[in-house]
């Protein structure tokens, strides 16, 4: 072998060794994420991509609602709590009692779309009409320009951050009518509305599809563009809460979610990237 070829071989070997040592390693190999079913598709997509890059890492992603995720972080049974609402003061206080410092990581933006069955001729509702429907003052579609048909109310359960945000932004914290059908996830709401002609529900923008129809609210369509420009009123931030500022594997995952590639996955799952 000539000296030049030997030099190239040694250089290639050194480069390979360098590449091996630049691959990040993590003290922890397992990551548990729990919480919001709104944020769930983002976490699932990013977890799959992250594990493809780091074959020794295992990420478990579970739903259950924002309240469940935050409670799990407080109890120390998850590393990241997905939430579609800000953490409450009482949750922060309980976390501190358990030695947990809840740290807020904003990962995306979202709108809450009010949805009806595709066959429903109603294309738009005012916030006042939505409030009256959900509190029981309006119970027939004919009263808002639709058919003579009973309105079936589909809502989220109390563990849902989507429920709490919707209740705050659309209902002024008034109680949902007692005969409302409560669902445990965005997907369950969307499926129930798609199968029920007279139904109305609400979901994160990522759950809009051809099987349901998103109605305009106060004349504004539920779109990413309208959330960004501030014209759509049922808008919010999406969060991943951690115990203190992210470190180690948790930081690496959050950093990936916030990276250009991660934010592209946010957009692909139907939500609004921060960048």
Ordered domains of the chain (ranges, CATH):
30-109+237-268 (3.40.190.10), 110-235 (3.40.190.10)
**For residue 28, how many other CB atoms are within 10 A of its CB?**
12
Rounded distance between C-alpha atoms, residue 11 and residue 14, angstroms? 5
- Mutual orientation of helices 248-258 and 40-53 as an angle, nearest 10°? 110
Q: In this predicted structure, what is the pLDDT of residue 17? A: 44
Residue range 164-189, pLDDT digits in tens:
999 999 999 999 999 999 998 999 99
* Length in residues, the chain: 275
Check if the beta carbon of residue 248 is closer than 8 Å to that of residue 57.
no
Contacts of 82 (CB under 8 A, 6+ apart): 33, 34, 35, 36, 38, 39, 40, 42, 43, 66, 69, 238, 239, 240
Residue 9, pLDDT > 70, answer no
Q: How confident is the model at residue 1 (pLDDT cuts 50, 70, 90)?
A: low
Residue range 34-62, pLDDT digits in tens:
999 999 999 999 999 999 999 999 999 99
Q: How confident is the model at residue 143 (pLDDT cuts 50, 70, 90)?
A: very high
Bridge partners, 106 (sequence order): 239
Contacts of 21 (CB under 8 A, 6+ apart): none
Residue 225, pLDDT > 60, answer yes
Q: In this predicted structure, what is the pLDDT of residue 12? A: 47
Q: What is the mean pLDDT of residues 221-234?
A: 94
Return mean pLDDT, the chain.
91
Residue 206, pLDDT > 60, answer yes
Q: In this predicted structure, what is the pLDDT of residue 24? A: 65
Residue 118, pLDDT > 80, answer yes
């Amino acid at each position: 072998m000539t000296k030049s070829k030997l030099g190239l071989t040694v250089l290639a070997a050194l480069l390979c060794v360098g590449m091996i040592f630049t691959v990040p390693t993590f003290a922890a190999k397992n990551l548990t994420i729990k919480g919001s079913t709104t944020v769930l598709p983002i976490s699932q997509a990013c977890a799959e991509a992250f594990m493809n890059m780091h074959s020794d890492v295992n990420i478990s992603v579970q739903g259950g609602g924002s309240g469940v995720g935050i409670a799990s972080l407080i109890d120390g049974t998850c590393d990241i709590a997905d939430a579609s609402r800000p953490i409450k003061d009482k949750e922060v206080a309980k976390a501190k009692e358990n030695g947990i410092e809840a740290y807020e990581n904003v990962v995306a933006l979202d709108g809450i779309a009010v949805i009806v069955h595709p066959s429903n001729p109603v294309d738009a509702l005012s916030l006042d009409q939505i409030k009256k429907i959900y509190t029981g003052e309006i119970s027939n579609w004919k009263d808002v320009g639709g058919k003579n048909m009973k309105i079936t109310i589909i809502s989220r359960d109390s563990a849902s951050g989507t429920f709490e945000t919707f209740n705050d932004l659309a209902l002024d914290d008034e109680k949902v009518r007692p005969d409302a059908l409560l669902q445990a996830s965005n997907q369950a709401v969307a499926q129930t509305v798609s199968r029920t002609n007279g139904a109305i529900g609400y979901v994160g923008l990522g759950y809009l599809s051809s099987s349901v129809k998103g109605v305009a609210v106060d004349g504004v369509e539920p779109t990413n563009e309208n959330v960004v420009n501030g014209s759509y009123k049922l808008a919010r931030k999406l969060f991943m809460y951690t115990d203190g500022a992210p470190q180690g594997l948790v930081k690496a995952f959050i950093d990936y979610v916030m990276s250009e590639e991660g934010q592209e996955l946010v957009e692909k799952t139907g939500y609004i990237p921060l960048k």
